Amino acid sequence: MTYCLGILNQAGIVMAADSRTNAGVDYISVYRKLFDFSIPHERILMLCTSGNLAVTQSVITCLQREIENQEPQSLHTAPTMYDVARYVGQTIRNIQDSDRQWLERDQIDFQCSLLVGGQLPGEVPKLFLVYSQGNCIEATPETPFLQIGETKYGKPILDRTLSFDTPLEAAAKCALLSIDSTMKSNLSVGPPINLMMYKKDSLLLRHRLQIRLGSPYLAKMRKLWEEHLRNAFDAMPNLEWELPEEAGDILMD
pLDDT at 150: 87
More confident residue, 81 or 51: 81
pLDDT at 27: 60
pLDDT tens-digit series, residues 198-250: 999 999 999 999 998 888 988 898 899 999 999 999 999 998 888 776 545 55
Q: Quickly state the pLDDT bin for 25 (edges 50, 70, 90).
A: low
Share of the chain above pLDDT 70, in %: 93
pLDDT at 46: 98
Q: Return the bridge partners of 115, or none.
A: 48, 129
Domain residue ranges of the chain, discontinuous segments joined by +: 3-233
For residue 76, the tally of other CB atoms under 10 A from its CB is 17
pLDDT at 111: 83
Q: Is 83 helix (H, G, I), strand (E, B) or coil?
A: helix
pLDDT, mean of residues 57-76? 95
pLDDT at 106: 73
Q: Which residue type sits at 77? A: T
pLDDT tens-digit series, residues 148-165: 988 898 999 999 999 999
DSSP 237: P
CATH fold for domain 3-233: Glutamine Phosphoribosylpyrophosphate, subunit 1, domain 1 (3.60.20)
Do residues 46 and 196 make contact, with C-beta atoms less than 8 angstroms apart?
yes
